[in-house]
Structure 1
Amino acid sequence: MKCIKIYPKVKLYLVKNEGVGGFGCKHPFCFLVYGHPNLQKKYYFANQKACRATNFIGMSKKRMKFRNFFGAAILLKAAFGIFCCMLMPSLVGVSQTEYPFKHLTINQGLSNNQINCMFRDSKGFMWFGTASGLNRYDGNGFKIFTHSDTDATSIIENSIIDIQEDYQENLWVNTGAGLSIFFPETEKFIFPINPYLSSLGFTDSLVLVFIDHQKNFWLTNNQQECFNYSGEENKWQKVEAFSGKTITDFFHYDHWVYAVFTDGQIVAVNTESLEGEPAINIPLLTGGSSVNSFNIYVDTDQDIWLFQETNPIGAFYFSSRGKKWHHLTNSAGCKFPLSSNTVKDIVEDTQKLIWIATDHGGINVINKSIENVVYLENNPKDPRSLAEKSIMCLYCDSESILWAGTYKYGISYYSESIFKFNHIRFNVSGLEAEFDNDINNFQEDLEGNLWIGSNNKGLIRIDNVTKKQMLFQHNPNNPQSISNNVVVSLTCDRKGRIWAGTYQGGLNCYDGGRFIHYRNQANNANSIASDLVWDIVEDNQGNLWIATLGGGIDCFDVQTGFFKHHTSQTHPGLASDYVLCIQETKEKNLLLGTAHGVSIYYPKTGTFQIIQGNFSGTKPLTNRNVLSVYEDSRGLIWVGTRGGLNIINPKNDDLILLNEESGIADNVICGILEDDQKNIWIST
């Protein structure tokens, strides 16, 4: 994140769409604050390929929008990145109800798409153990460590099984050929590790090593003995409670280290006293095979989860509150039905949800509090779905990012901060295949329904309650249909009528049952000045102001049906007849963005004033082709041009420029919006 100081106590924060936590919307052209009182509010962003929405808390019910100008073309066909310019305080995010993922594969630099294990070290690097090498990820790229026959300090084998970190920040990397130790300072490996263990005081034949959260070691030998080693104290202690039987897995939670044995027995040892608690047995498996290889996980409720990676037995869940075991399978009758009986890994996220990785069943997300299971699988039509159904491992890091390693398709990772914008997919019957999701604008009506203007498919209405989508398209045989399918501008007046400005189709009014058309008529001076309607604003008197391309700006008296024209010839203060955007100011004047600068209309006098920079004219605009104008709550005038963002302060007649050199993604500023937290959002 980059911070630019504009004025004292006014800072601009630039957030680009890149890396973990990016917005994921690259080509926005319009947005709208949408919502109802006492409900979560939404931002809607549109581009040429998708419609997205995001929730934020505390926004009032009001209409804010912007659109692009494309001259003779229908839309600006430019691939610009989105950035968000935020004036303090920052936005408050609201959690999403679905799980959109980002992905990392060999296309981003992974050595192999099969992910066997994952780990985040104390420096913040993510480590991925693959079928062909150890990968270190810094958020931007990978560094790969592989075996070399000519380098004795390389990793012993490329198939990585497990990764742990000790008290000296060295990595203990288990491979198909045995355990190696990686030293980050030199980026060298040692193998075999017996000399290193001997230097620590462990001379037995090592069977299993576990490093807990406090960086203490728990090691077992071939005589079924377990030892605890504190590196900071250089102290060894035998753990009697863990000795005498074969341990297959350890887990550390709070002040306890849990061990599970091959017979399904579990023992918990206090990390300070090394005293054990009475064993817990699995009734369903008691008396069964004594060579089971169990994996164990303990969640924040101290509930215990057991599974076997290679055995399709489902999972065993012990409720510490109910003191009862539950056997979870794909049977519909169990407490939490699984999508597959082959469980590969289990983790808990920061929301206390239990994520279960399965083979050929995707991920099962269990909410114990409401006894619900959400099943996550790959959807070939959704690039933000889970990469595939075969999940090898899971990891929840310190920043609440949930990482999922797959068998053939690399890594999928999820966090609420990754995507602020959820897709709204149009499913209008019969048009799914041909609807290209090219969106121009949004409008909320008085009932909270969302209206969406498309670039060539007509007007869409999404019911606020039922979420049903309705499409309005031009029908040459129906004079009451919308006049044109390219909907460039939208507004809802105080009576609830929807006004739609079109490209070459004039102005439309939808009264709930039909569309009324207002077209330019060469022999009618009271008709609209142009059929290219670029913006519509209702002023405080209930008049509609119509921005047109080539016809100046019209004031429409809804009662009489007459349009009053204002052009650069009749009103010299109007900078151009190509008017792209309108905003009414707090003083009830109109800010107009035109192809040749900014004009201000003063209704009290009926006059216009041209603004080509600051008011004294000592600092010009960087570009006169104005695509967006906005007056914020501070009285600052934001002018978006093809040459950057200009901020005019009328109080001191200052003008500040922000452009690519300042950190903005692109100099073409398509739209500007302020939220209730006084954050300024910019689209490029």
Structure 2
Amino acid sequence: MIVKRIFLLLYSCVVLALTAPGQQDRLKFTAVTTKEGLSSNTVNVIIKDSYGLVWFGTDDGLNKFDGNAITVYRNKPGDASSLPTNEVLSLHEDRSGNLWVGTSGGSIARYDRRKDLFTTFPAGTGVNKLGNNVIRGISSDVNGNIWIVHYAGVDILAPSTGNVTPFPLQPPNRQNAPVVSGMTIFADSKNRIWIGTSDGLWQHDVRAKKTKSFFHQPGDSLSLGSYMVNTIAEDSDGAIWIGTDNGLSRIKPGTSTFTTYRQHKGSVPNMRSVDYIYSIAFDKDDLCMGTGNGLLIRNRKTGAISQYADGGREKFGLSAFAVRNVYIDPQGTYWLGSFRGGVNKYDRNLNLFEYVQSNAFDQQGLNHPIVTAFAEGEKGKVFVGTEGGLSLFDRETKLFQTIPLNSKRKDAEIKLSVLSLVMSQHKRLAVGTYADGLFLVDPVTKSYRQLLKGTNKGDLNANDIFCMKEDRAGNLWVGTNGEGINVLNAAGEVTVRYTPRPVAANDSLLPLNGYIRDILEDKEGAIWIATHGGGIARLQVATGRFTIYHTLNSMLPNDKIQTLLEDRQGAIWAGTHGGGIAIFQRKTGQFTVLSEKDGLQNNTVRKIIEDPTGRKWISLNTGISSIAPGSQKISNYNYPNGVQRSNFMHGAGLRLSDGDIFFGGLEGFNYFKPSSFTKNNTVPEVLFTDLVVSNQSVAPLQAGRF
């Protein structure tokens, strides 16, 4: 009955988490692999030492990571001061700051930081030899002794003398039982040593010199959940949690009874089996478990569960299925050692952009690498325009649905090249294309009407539609590449054309070139027009009066204008091609400029978007920048933040109603939630790792002088 009750509790928690995926943002992981210099992608153990260095024990060497570079330590045949063997299974830093390295087949070694070498304590049959050379776990007790768990049991090493004392693990009343293999070790906050083995759990009180043992008893639901114990951890309340090969057990404080949790395959939809637990770590109330099927996080208070497995379509998912080690450092950064996937890192201070790329072999993926436009659809879905056509992106599933559009233009390509998108007030999608005019699409029925260049009054005057804007009256302003602007009413009829070469009855003169790159309606109802090479025009629609701004009359830094924005205070921001950002001052009629010399990482501006807090987000020829309201302090984001390496596209940007922002480029698109971005106020400590004189490292002498 107890087992059934516990399972149902876990089952209901899992269902709660899975049916409400939007309740909390999922963690985003970056990977450190052999591409970044790791010696192997199979990582068995991770620790961060008191100097701030992160150590990775792999199946082919020990790796030291200083946040920038990786140093690899491997066995050198004939060199007794090198790592004794290359497969590292366990790591531990003692109270004196010494790093202990447990290997598979090479026993245990202590690392000398000053001399950058290793001292090995061998296994063997003689005096002061370890009982086995496969070291599964290392810990320290309150007296400074080193406890070493290996396949033949446990030994206690006194570092000052080198004396080795075996610690017996003979199960009581089981004298004929085979010698158990040590699997893991843990020192709790009460200075007790916990030892996990292939057949049970031991607890040793160092001060009282008393030992208890706990075993799995088939049929006894209050006993340890399985024979084999892989990992042990303590929560903030002092409770001990045990990861086994058949679930998770928690020993009830002050008792010898256990509560066991299991999650079998198929018991909950979309949740993989997680009964084999390699590693446990705590992040406040979150219990983080490394399993054969990814990372499982269970909140101790609410019971909510989330699972992270191989990334699949998630750019920042895990790089492998099996997570062998979970380490959470004092700053709250997660380091996950995986089987064949390297190290996965979750850094709450690292702001990451979601990134979607195309794959020619993915029938439900992005249809083309070059992303040119976005429009918001129903239920949070996003229409995405590319040089390969139109599709609908589901942010929950990361899947795309192709929206077929066939051009009636003679000699048209099979796939449309989409340049611009606008969703109207009446939920009609306008699709501007290169060479194939304008499509007016019903998003529900997928039916559409195409408008092309023609000689009739109701025709467009060009087929290249570079930008569009719907005004508050429901009119659609359509910017072309060379022929100015076509204005359509709410019924989709062309009513007026602003063009540098008026010929038809409904044509009006546009007093600058017709290469339109963006259109904006300001709070006063005036239309601002950005051109390529002609500066900016402001049109008073009621009077038909134009005001022209260019480099010669208004301090505009460049007449090639890519994008326009009116911010919350009514200021007009203009992104230029090569001149940075120009901000219009209404009182003076002049522009002030923000450029690379002010911290902008590139002067070619593709799109400017304002978030609900007033922060401006700018896609550039390379990278993304943000500008804080008021102070105009600039922050820059690049590839380490998940931003695509290639150029962003002119005008390819959108803010959704829920605040998410999208930017399209030559290699897919990025999107993000600005409200989830944080400011890192942590001041890192400085660690001197080397002194170089004339390109030669200078080592300190033993006395501390050079």
TM-score, scaled relative to structure 1: 0.67
SS at match of 1:670: strand
Q: 1:683 aligns with which of 619, 624, 631?
A: 619
Matches within 5 A, 1:181-220: 181-192=110-121, 210-211=138-139, 219=147
Q: Deviations over 1:619-662 (max 9, x none)?
A: 441x4322212222244433222314223251564522323x65
Residues 301 and 320, structure 1, Cα contact 8 Å, conserved in 2: no
Q: 2:516 aligns with which of 564, 567, 579?
A: 579
CA distance in 1, matches of 2:277, 2:70: 29
Matched, 1:115 2:43: yes
Please state how far the C-alpha of 1:365 moved relative to its aligned partner. 4.5
CA distance in 2, matches of 1:128, 1:315: 26
CA distance in 2, matches of 1:110, 1:534: 46
Q: 1:518 aligns with which of 451, 466, 470?
A: 451
Match of 2:84 in 1: 156
Match of 2:215 in 1: 282
Q: Deviations over 1:463-522 (max 9, x none)?
A: 89999975432246899xx99833322223333333222222222333555323332212
Please state how far the C-alpha of 1:149 moved relative to its aligned partner. 4.9
Match of 1:591 in 2: 528
SS at match of 2:25: coil
Matched, 1:539 2:471: yes
CA distance in 2, matches of 1:629, 1:333: 53
CA distance in 2, matches of 1:224, 1:472: 65
User: Counterpart of 1:516 in structure 2: which amino acid?
Assistant: R
Please state how far the C-alpha of 1:101 moved relative to its aligned partner. 3.9
CA distance in 2, matches of 1:145, 1:589: 67
Match of 1:642 in 2: 577
Q: Deviations over 1:418-467 (max 9, x none)?
A: 6744467999x99538933653222225x555341422454334689999
Match of 1:58 in 2: none
Residues 111 and 119, structure 2, Cα contact 8 Å, conserved in 1: yes
Identity between Structure 1 and Structure 2 (%)? 22
Distance 1:469 1:250, change over 3 A: closer
Greater relative contact order, per chain length (Cα 8 Å cut-off, separation 6+): 1
Match of 1:22 in 2: none
Match of 1:45 in 2: none
User: Counterpart of 2:544 in structure 1: which amino acid?
Assistant: G
Please state how far the C-alpha of 1:276 moved relative to its aligned partner. 8.4
User: What is the RMSD of the two structures over their aligned residues, measured on CA atoms?
Assistant: 5.0
Residues 592 and 600, structure 1, Cα contact 8 Å, conserved in 2: yes
Match of 2:56 in 1: 128
Residues 431 and 438, structure 2, Cα contact 8 Å, conserved in 1: yes
Match of 1:405 in 2: 337
Distance 1:383 1:554, change over 3 A: closer
Residues 318 and 325, structure 1, Cα contact 8 Å, conserved in 2: yes
Residues 242 and 267, structure 1, Cα contact 8 Å, conserved in 2: no
Distance 1:402 1:465, change over 3 A: closer
Distance 1:508 1:451, change over 3 A: farther
Matched, 1:170 2:103: no
CA distance in 2, matches of 1:346, 1:307: 7
Matched, 1:339 2:263: no
Please state how far the C-alpha of 1:346 moved relative to its aligned partner. 2.7
Residues 165 and 215, structure 1, Cα contact 8 Å, conserved in 2: no
Residues 204 and 210, structure 2, Cα contact 8 Å, conserved in 1: yes
CA distance in 1, matches of 2:338, 2:492: 66
CA distance in 1, matches of 2:334, 2:530: 45
Q: Deviations over 1:520-544 (max 9, x none)?
A: 212x245322222222212233332
SS at match of 2:563: strand
Please state how far the C-alpha of 1:683 moved relative to its aligned partner. 1.0
SS at match of 2:203: strand
Residues 453 and 488, structure 1, Cα contact 8 Å, conserved in 2: no
User: Counterpart of 2:319 in structure 1: which amino acid?
Assistant: A
CA distance in 2, matches of 1:224, 1:121: 24
User: Counterpart of 1:357 in structure 2: which amino acid?
Assistant: T
Please state how far the C-alpha of 1:184 moved relative to its aligned partner. 3.6
CA distance in 2, matches of 1:159, 1:483: 56
Match of 2:200 in 1: 264
Q: 2:242 aligns with which of 283, 306, 315?
A: 306
User: Counterpart of 2:215 in structure 1: which amino acid?
Assistant: I
Q: 1:326 aligns with which of 256, 260, 264?
A: 260
Please state how far the C-alpha of 1:218 moved relative to its aligned partner. 5.4
Matched, 1:459 2:390: yes
CA distance in 2, matches of 1:167, 1:465: 47
Distance 1:386 1:214, change over 3 A: farther
User: Counterpart of 2:234 in structure 1: which amino acid?
Assistant: V
Please state how far the C-alpha of 1:171 moved relative to its aligned partner. 1.9
Match of 1:507 in 2: 438
Distance 1:296 1:607, change over 3 A: same
User: Counterpart of 1:355 in structure 2: which amino acid?
Assistant: M
Please state how far the C-alpha of 1:674 moved relative to its aligned partner. 0.7
CA distance in 1, matches of 2:452, 2:556: 37
Residues 224 and 244, structure 1, Cα contact 8 Å, conserved in 2: no
User: Counterpart of 2:278 in structure 1: which amino acid?
Assistant: K
Q: Deviations over 1:37-71 (max 9, x none)?
A: xxxxxxxxxxxxxxxxx99xxxxxxxxxxxxxxxx
User: Counterpart of 2:327 in structure 1: which amino acid?
Assistant: Y
TM-score, scaled relative to structure 2: 0.65
User: Counterpart of 1:589 in structure 2: which amino acid?
Assistant: A
Please state how far the C-alpha of 1:397 moved relative to its aligned partner. 2.7
Match of 1:494 in 2: 425
Q: Structure 2: state its 5+ residue gaps.
A: 1-20, 173-179, 503-507, 621-706
Matched, 1:180 2:109: yes
Please state how far the C-alpha of 1:145 moved relative to its aligned partner. 2.1
Distance 1:165 1:455, change over 3 A: same
Residues 132 and 158, structure 1, Cα contact 8 Å, conserved in 2: yes
Match of 2:560 in 1: 625
Between 648-657 and 582-591, the greater mean CA deviation after superposition: 648-657
Please state how far the C-alpha of 1:578 moved relative to its aligned partner. 0.4
What is the count of residue pairs matched by the alignment? 556
CA distance in 2, matches of 1:213, 1:665: 52
CA distance in 2, matches of 1:363, 1:352: 12
Distance 1:189 1:319, change over 3 A: closer
CA distance in 1, matches of 2:593, 2:423: 34
Between 562-571 and 464-473, the greater mean CA deviation after superposition: 464-473
SS at match of 1:107: helix
Match of 2:654 in 1: none
CA distance in 1, matches of 2:526, 2:435: 28
Distance 1:189 1:574, change over 3 A: farther
Residues 136 and 144, structure 1, Cα contact 8 Å, conserved in 2: yes
